[in-house]
Amino acid sequence: MLSYFSTAVGWVREMFKSNTKIGKSVLAMGLLVAFNASAQNTAHVHGKGTAFVVQQDNEWQLQFTLPAADIFGFEHYPDTAEQKKRVKAQDEKLSIAESFLTLPGGCQIVSIDASNPFSSSQHGGDHDHDHDHDAHYDVEATLRMSCNQALSGLTFSLFQVFESLESIDVMWTLESGQGMQEISPARPSVDF
């Protein structure tokens, strides 16, 4: 639960540092997320991720938190050359918008920022350390896009790319309102 809350608070702080128009909406979403995290048992569950969607004017931001086990196939620092190769390959997928969603018409990607606990930049390079193989790690990604028309929903492609994902809780704060919906491989779209 603390990790969930910390993620929400960190996200809100980052948005205020960037001084964008989305700041007020992000604050509202951050407070919603913090409340939701404190109200629920948010244990780390393999196969289950979260996504937060915030919109103001033509600016959209999507924040994903996904279990590392579902992205990489393991949840510990890579030990073998094969595991290191897998981390690199999945990092490349995490830098492509289409790995997350079907890009709506009239929208352009502004930026994608993905981080994982296993990349050398996150961990300080390759070196021999003992790591907690029982720890639970998440991958976090932020996608920003600009759309020249209103969106009535989004279709997520994560389930096709990261096949062990079973569901994602999507929460949104838009100019038109707020909502929450669970998506799955059988139902990968949300309607706002």
The tens digit of pLDDT for each residue in 34-66 reads 444 433 445 567 899 999 999 999 999 999 999
Q: Give residues with Cβ within 8 angstroms of 145, minimum separation 6.
A: 59, 60, 62, 97, 103, 107, 108, 109, 110
Please state, in angstroms and rounded to a whole number, the distance separating the CA atoms of residues 86 and 169.
26
Task: State the burial class of residue 95 (Cβ atoms within 10 Å of its Cβ: 0-12, 13-18, 19+).
Answer: exposed
**pLDDT surpassing 50 at residue 139:** yes
Predicted TM-score (pTM) of the model is: 0.74
Does 12 or 94 have the greater pLDDT score? 94
For residues 95 and 64, is the Cβ–Cβ distance under 8 A? no
CB atoms within 10 A of CB 190: 21
Asked if the model's pLDDT at residue 150 lies above 50, the reply is yes
At what angle are helices 2-18 and 23-39 packed, to 10 degrees? 170
Phi, psi of 29, rounded to the nearest 5 degrees: -65, -40
Q: Element (H or E) spanning 127, and its range?
A: none
